Each structure stands twice: as structure tokens, then as C-alpha cells.
Chain A
Amino acid sequence: MELNYHPLGDGAIVVTAGESISDETTALVRAIAEAITRAEIHGVSDVIQAYVTVTVCYDAEGGMTYRTMEKRLREILSDVRPAGKGEGRTVEIPVCYGGEFGPDLAFVADHNGLTEEEVIRIHSGTTYDVKMIGFAPGFPFLGGMDERIAAPRRPSPRLEIPARTVGIAGAQTGVYPIGTPGGWQLIGRTPVELFLPDQEIPSLLRPGDQVRFRPITTEEYKKMEVDRHAHH
């Protein structure tokens, strides 16, 4: 598909690479975002990668116009090709499933006619793709969850889901980097921070990464949490 350009107000331009989620579109979106970032265009502040679009924020007050911006992007992206597979990193996220950290693990199991152990095995036996980061700082939209552990959202959202909780909503799984209200089914928690405000790149995960979850015991969780605090 040919790339599409349109304005998002007076300070952003949206590049659309496709109409639906596919591996090819994901790879193309990633290549577009990387090419724009690499070009270091003066006055561009943000390059926001999503499922099928890349939104580029620029400083119109500094004199950059939409027309100039679109022209620049067309030049930069004239020969862009989908990024190759396997160029991203694989990040392992340890998860303590069930118990106080995953109060809805039993529900997810029951809902799918599985045991809790089977849910854990399926959830941690899959490799996920980070499609995009959004919604909250460091929050990954993950693709690739096994439909056998899909579960509907809770009828009424919890007022506060603790940071680092792993959840399932419909056919999606994700990790809440910060405490937030939400209706996801909670199946576990990781001792690892996903939002890293004191790092140059403030997110553990980036679009294009692959993610695997590794089950850990409560003891391991507590030890890793103590180690994390020792680092701060």
C-alpha cells in the first residue's frame, strides 16, 4: 500500500502504512518510525509509532509548516521497506502468577475450562510482539496471545490496579507499568519495572521487541523486589 499523509492539527502529521494489523504493516510502521527518527529533522519532537500509523509531532511555532513537513517525510520515506524480522530484542519478564498478585487467575482458568497451571503454561509459553507503546508510560500493546486463555473484562473496573500487574482483557495481555484503574483480569505481577523515568529510554520495552513471560515463585519475586530497591 502507498503511504498516506494527513495533518493532525497544526503540530502533527500522521503517516498511515496500512488499514489493518498484519506482520507486514507492523514491520513497515517500524521502518517508517526508524527512518524518521534517524533523519533527525530539526523541529521534530516526537515520533509516535502505533498499529498502522506513525504520528510525527513538530514545532509549528518555530516555523515548520505542514507542507514542508510532508515534503520532507515523502523524501525520507520514498524507498522505505518493512523492517526485517528478528531485528528487535527479546525481553524476558519474570511473573509471579496467581495468589495475591493474580486474583483473577482462577476466573481465567474456569472461563476456559483449564486449570490454573495450564493458563500459566500457555501464557508463559508464548512469544509476544510489542506492537506499540501507549495508554500509559511504558505500557506495551502485545500481539500473539493464545486465544485459549482469552477472558472478558470485569463487569466493573477496579479502582486501583497496582503497578507491574499482568492482566488479560479479551484476546489481549499486557502489564500495567503504573498504578491505574482498569477492568482487566489480573493473573500475576512482575517485580520488574516497565516505566523507567530516570533512564535515557524510559521504557523497558520498545515497539519491535519480543516478550516472553517466565513464571517465578513468591520467594523469587520477593528477592527480586528487594534487589530492585537496593539499586535505587
Chain B
Amino acid sequence: MLIIEKSGLQTSVQDLGRPGFQQYGVVAGGAMDPYSHRVANLLAGNSETCATIEAALAGPSIRFEMDSLIALAGGDLSPGIDGEPVPMWRPVAVKAGAVLTFGKPVSGCRVYIAVAGGIDVPEVMGSRSTYTKARIGGVEGRCLKKGDMLQAGKPSILAKHWAATALSKAGERQFCAADWSVSDELVPRYGNQAEIRMMKGPQHRWFDEESRSLFFSGTFTVSSESDRMGYRLKGDALRLSEPRELLSEGVVAGAVQVPSGGSPILLMADRQTTGGYPKIGQAASVDLPLVAQLQPGAQLRFKEVSVDEAQQLLIQRKKRLAELKLAVELKMKGV
């Protein structure tokens, strides 16, 4: 059992979302940074599809009622237990009674807290992801609040064994982190600037020449009106070459829509399923986790890639995650 002692900001239960219902207007949703979500799960001995806790900028305080194995990935929001910093991107065995807290955001924006066995809330339409607008998933379809109690599922035998061994060596300390972590090249560098790989959107040619060139050469700033639905970007206005109306059509995460005001909106996990603004670009899925880690005020630039390249990058990343899964198993077995 996990008890939420402090809610933090926009803290919610998320998994990889609920695809398959977009034709009924239900967004796929899920973790804003699915990469960190997946890595955290693997490090906790879980499958990538288990539910984790996502928190933005100000993390929650969570008390563990029993010995647990956890892993943190994503933005560094200064995690700690009992006044001592808790390392990220590696398994951490936690004693019953320990309280995980967060401090100021050091880098990135969103942290994922995986617990061995996964967060066990009821599935709604095949997913545990919280979608607050429709009040479904997670805990009563809302963000977590003080006093919420969450159950973890059954940890893998390996995770349980590893945690028990680690805690037997913890002594007086409330937790024991692994002396190994994921390799450096698997840990993204989050900063105030990001270069996001981007394909041309279906209405790219609707924009005037200057806007088309600005899109791939200019710098955009993440505005404070950015949330799980989308990031509003500030920069030079992007204009159509002539007024034109788009009939609403299906949109997906990563689409860069441009309303008539000229300021683009980069759609994220909880976007609507259809939209009527022209799409000048479509971010490579492999880079959406980096967008999810940008704080308001951060700057981003877009670098053009082809659909082929973007798809190759996804396959490469999948391979690396599969290798990580194997490596974690070997490490936990003590091989």
C-alpha cells in the first residue's frame, strides 16, 4: 500500500494509454513521457505497460506501508527519503514506513515513479491512465490527492528477491539503491533548450514560404499555457499563404497545429481526437518524451526528418529498451 501524504502538482496514475477508442472521441492519453515511464517500469522489474505515478514540477510525498522496490525516471525533481537524496534511473529498495519526497526541479519537468507490481487501479477501456477531462482511469478519474491509498500489484519474483537482499544490507537507512544504473546513453539530457525532430504536416504547403522556412529555422518558446493536452508555443507568427478552412480531422500526439493567430500548439498525450487547425508539422514520436520534459520558458527548435527516419528511430529505441530489460534481469540475478 502507498499513501499519498502530499499531492504535488498534477500527480496522476498513467500507463501507455488507451488506444483503440479514438473513433469514439476518447483520447489515447497515457504517460506524457512514455520513454521514462517504460524505463522506470523495467527497472522495477515490471512490464512496460504497468501503471506508474506521473508528477510535474512539484512531486508528491508518498509513504510506503510495506517493503517495496521502486524506480524513478524522467525529470530530476530532487527525490529524497529521510533527508537523503534518492538516485534516479536505477532500482531502489524502500523500507516499510519510508516517505518518498521531492524538492525543487533540477532538470526536466516530469518524474515517473514505478513500483514493483505496478500501481493497481481498475482498468477503464483497457487502461489505467487518468483522463481527468472525462473523469476516467486512475483514482476516480482525477489527479491524486492527500490521503489517497494506492495498491501495488504483485511484484515479479526477481524484483521481490532483489529488494529483500538489498534491504538486508540497508542497516539503519530507509532505502538501498542499486550500485548500478542504466547506461549513460539511455539517460536523456534535459535542458532549457531542445531540438525536436519533425516531419512536415499534412497542411505544410498551406503556409506561406516565410512561415515554412521559419518553422524549421526559428526558435519557439514553451508558454505557461502548456499542459497534458498540448504545449502552446511562442515565436514568430506562422501564416497561411491564403485564408483557408480545414474540416476537422483526426489528429495524433506530436501534431503542430496553427490557429489563425499564428502561434503553434504542439499536441500532447491528452489532445482531442479531432482538430480543425492546419498542421504545419508532426513531431517524431521518439522525441515527444523530450518535449514532455520541457518547462514553461524552455526553447525548442525543429529539425526536419523524413517519415522513414522517424520510424527507424522508433525501432532502434525499441531495441535499446529490449536490451535494457535483459540487462536489468541479469543484474538483479547477480549475474
Instruction: Spell out A's residues near B (CB within 8 Å).
Output: 6-12, 14, 20-21, 33, 45-55, 57, 60-61, 63, 65-66, 132-139, 141, 177-178, 180, 195, 197-198, 201-203, 206-207
Contacts and interface: CB of A to CB of B under 8 A. Distances in A.
A64 to B, nearest CB: 8
Interface string B284-311: 1110000000000000000000011011
Given A65-B308, A133-B24, A57 B19 contact: yes
Interface stretch (B165-173, B185-193, B233-241, B242-250): B242-250
Given A60-B314, A201-B24, A12 B248 contact: no
B19 A45 contact: yes
Interface stretch (B56-64, B85-93, B133-141): B133-141
Contacts, number: 153
A12 B247 contact: no
Contacts of A9: 199, 252, 254-255, 282-285, 307, 310
B134 A197 contact: yes
A134 B25 contact: yes
Contacts of A139: 25
A55 B272 CA distance: 14
Given A60-B311, A197-B124, A197-B125, A14 B248 contact: no
Given A14-B202, A48-B274, A55-B252, A138 B25 contact: yes
Given A10-B307, A132-B248, A138-B26, 12 more contacts: A7-B199, A8-B202, A8-B252, A10-B284, A51-B247, A52-B247, A55-B250, A65-B308, A134-B250, A136-B133, A197-B124, A202-B24
A201 B134 CA distance: 16
B154 interface: no
B181 interface: no
Given A195-B134, A203-B24, A134 B285 contact: no
B22 interface: yes
Contacts of B310: 9-10, 60
Of the listed residues A33, A45, A177, the one surrounded by the most CB atoms of chain B closer than 10 A to its CB is A45
Contacts of B23: 33, 46-49, 133, 207
A61 B314 contact: yes
A138 B133 CA distance: 13
Contact size range, B: 35 or more
Given A178-B135, A197-B136, A66 B255 contact: no
Nearest to B310: A10
B251 to A, nearest CB: 8
A183 B25 CA distance: 20
Contact of B315 (A14, A50, A63): A63
Interface string B302-329: 0000011011001101100000000000
B99 to A, nearest CB: 34
A25 to B, nearest CB: 10
A142 B252 CA distance: 23
